[in-house]
Chain A
Amino acid sequence: MTAPAGEEREGRLAENIVYFARALHTAGIPVGPGSVLDALEAVKAAGVGEREDFYWTLHAVFVKKHEHSVLFDQAFKIFFRKRGYLDQLMAMMLPQAQSVPQKPQAGSSRIQEALFSGVKDQLKQEEREIVIDSRLTVSDREVLQAKDFAQMSAAEIAQAKEAIRRMVLSLDEVRTRRLAPARRGHAVDMRRTLRASMKAGGALIDLKYRGPKTRLPPIVALLDISGSMGEYTRLFLHFLHAVTDARKRVHSFLFGTRLTNVTRALRAKDPDEALAAVSASVADWSGGTRIATSLAAFNKQWARRVLTQGAIVLLITDGLERDPDDRLAFEIDRLHRSCRRLIWLNPLLRFEGFAPKARGVQAMLPHVDEFRPVHNLRSMEELCRALSSERAGQGDPTAWLRKVA
């Protein structure tokens, strides 16, 4: 083989890998220029021999998450079979690709329409008016605070959204096993002590201390998006978005008849953008509720991945299970045992006469640490406060049951 030919081949290979990386990127695998260089280096190291080796070589460099393996597999199969398949590839596997202008899928556009059209325009207009109105008076705010989300007009919803955005989760702290310098700690910080005493030539030993460090626990939210929760879901999504924005480790899941992880979608800074992304990724809006099935899916696939390090679970549902059976009690019990605190937020609790008649509610109540209403801004604020401290007893389900009885 002559030198130029070899060089040319290498050039073609590099070109191919760059194209392939771009295809992967559009497919939703985060591939940067750094990994393209890595890939070239790797292919040079391993040599282009058999197809399988080539496959795993690229896999080792480009795939950084188990979920991405499937995408990679499809992309590889199509890309390296024939040239010119690139466009087809992109069109095929990219429902979530934002950069490629394409026809939106029929289903998603319908969902989008059903969810946002009309309402959105209306909201936009109203919002503008509110801005001109400037601040609300105190009494206005009072009224808004107590008003049920379900009875709000579009303008009021917009105001509520604003209020939710301003809600600050104060610091909820969990002791970790890590120690940090502290004025009054329980352990002597030898390192700082020694360094301080060196300053004095070792004549004085002034003890420095370390105490336990605290941090915010992760929050996992499970939000019911079935038909019966219809009026509330959007505001709760805004709430979750605000929480995701403020805290580091928040995982959000939506469930109706099946479970969807929307954590990534909610990370978008702009709430409208985030909610649009959420609605695009969910297929079972306003349908029935299968709480047990959804919880089972969560327990099986996600619990061990997101419920570590003392997570708090917010379960937002009305507890109206479509097909109640023993599984619900079993699954909620398992969920309860695998998290630090399970808080059930139920919008139906606003009704004075709400009694735990529904079988789903009865099955779930014994297994939650806290049971609270969320149907207006005040209750949401109370929730924020409750998340901030370990005030046990408040929202205790047994106390509530006694009151109802």
Chain B
Amino acid sequence: MAAPNAQLNKAFHFRGSSTRYGLSKGRLVTAPHRTAPQSIDDTLALLASADYLADRSLATVLFLALRMGRPIFLEGEAGVGKTEIAKVLSATLGRRLIRLQCYEGLDVAAAVYEWNYAAQMIAIRLAEAEGGVDRDRLGHDVFSEKFLIKRPLLQALEPDPAGAPVLLIDELDRTDEAFEAFLLEVLADFQITIPELGTVKAAHPPIVVITSNRTREIHDALKRRCLYHWVGYPNAERELAIVRAKVPGIAKRLSLEVVHFVQALRRQDLFKSPGVAETLDWATALSELDAVALDPATVSDTLGVLLKYQDDIARIEGSRAKELIEGLRAELRAAE
């Protein structure tokens, strides 16, 4: 049985590592393992070290979640940095990030574990070829850990030398109630039962971050087990700091105007207000275009980066954009 095993391990390894979320796209570099923060100020500093500028309320919730070993439930509009929190936690604490992206129809085979059927078949054929098949033994062998393909939830319960991993359950509202119900067991006891194998329990519970865009209400039973936080849009001051941290080399005046323009947009009656992610995209876009300040023509041309609905774009484009720019300039002059 040696040959198939080697193959198996390879396959297993490959699948295991594919869910390891790469941080390569950001500028975050995994820091050496460090202990959880000791106070709220400590948490703020920790997040800031990875360029995540959180407000105090969010830092409080994170600190408590780490301290109390509770999952964090983050709700908010798209693009306010909910997912980013998990990435930053993993990077700053030096933990592995395991991400489970939810979608409609997500089932146990994709979220928790699956048996490696091909390998099981081969094992059975080999056992037959050798002759003298002991049915009970074979059954036991075939449903053992080496034939198990671990999916994100199960991986999150495994011991890790770097400390318990960060488990990101992203956009939970996309999946259905049945999966939520399944999560209850996992989040309450950090254990998973595999009928053929027994119960797997985490020695150290993972840091769980759940996000939702609120396209439907998540059941109260699940929320009760978590610390809840609504991630809102940042105020102008903090958004400016975020833009300057994330878009290095942006002109000072441009960043100021970009942020105030976006803040003004959020006060308009739009179908979808731009999030922080859109602000950053827009700031980068304008910076690439070598703009040093906003002008109505450029704003109208690049509005698609900020607004994603045609009706919203049509409403703001042209004269409205001009008014907004004039308004924010007057505001900025008054503030000086």
Contacts and interface: CB of A to CB of B under 8 A. Distances in A.
B28 interface: no
B138 to A, nearest CB: 6
Interface string A13-47: 00000000000000000101011001001100111
B21 interface: no
A46 B224 contact: no
A60 B60 contact: yes
Contacts of A57: 60, 64
Nearest to B142: A198
Contacts of B282: none
B105 A300 contact: no
A53 B40 contact: yes
B316 to A, nearest CB: 16
Contacts of B227: 60-61
B302 interface: no
A52 B107 contact: no
Contacts of B263: none
Contact of A56 (B60, B217, B220): B60
Given A45-B64, A191-B117, A300-B271, A64 B135 contact: no
A305 B215 contact: yes
Interface residues of B, number: 51
Contacts of B56: 52-53, 56
Given A69-B230, A191-B117, A201-B133, A308 B64 contact: no
Interface stretch (A176-184, A238-246, A280-288, A370-378): A176-184
Interface in B159-191: 173, 176-178
A178 B105 contact: yes
Contacts of B52: none
Nearest to B109: A191
Contact of A198 (B104, B125, B138, B223): B138
Interface in B75-128: 75, 103-105, 107, 109, 114-115, 117, 120-121, 124-125, 127-128
Q: In the complex, which range does the number of interface residues on chain A fall in?
A: 35 or more
Contacts of A201: 133, 135, 138
B120 A59 contact: no
B139 interface: yes
Contacts of A65: 223, 228
B63 interface: yes
A53 B125 CA distance: 63
Nearest to B107: A178
A47 B42 CA distance: 14
A202 B61 contact: no
Given A34-B224, A194-B120, A308-B215, A56 B61 contact: yes
26 contacts: A32-B224, A42-B64, A45-B68, A46-B40, A56-B60, A57-B60, A66-B75, A66-B230, A176-B176, A177-B104, A178-B105, A178-B178, A190-B115, A190-B117, A193-B117, A194-B115, A194-B117, A198-B142, A202-B124, A202-B127, A202-B135, A202-B138, A215-B176, A304-B215, A308-B216, A330-B311
Q: What 6 pairs between A and B have smallest CB-CB spacing?
A: A177-B105, A56-B60, A202-B124, A190-B117, A45-B67, A56-B57
Interface of A: 30, 32, 34-35, 38, 41-42, 45-47, 52-53, 56-57, 59-61, 63-66, 69, 176-179, 190-191, 193-194, 197-198, 201-203, 215, 248, 299-300, 304-306, 308-309, 330, 334
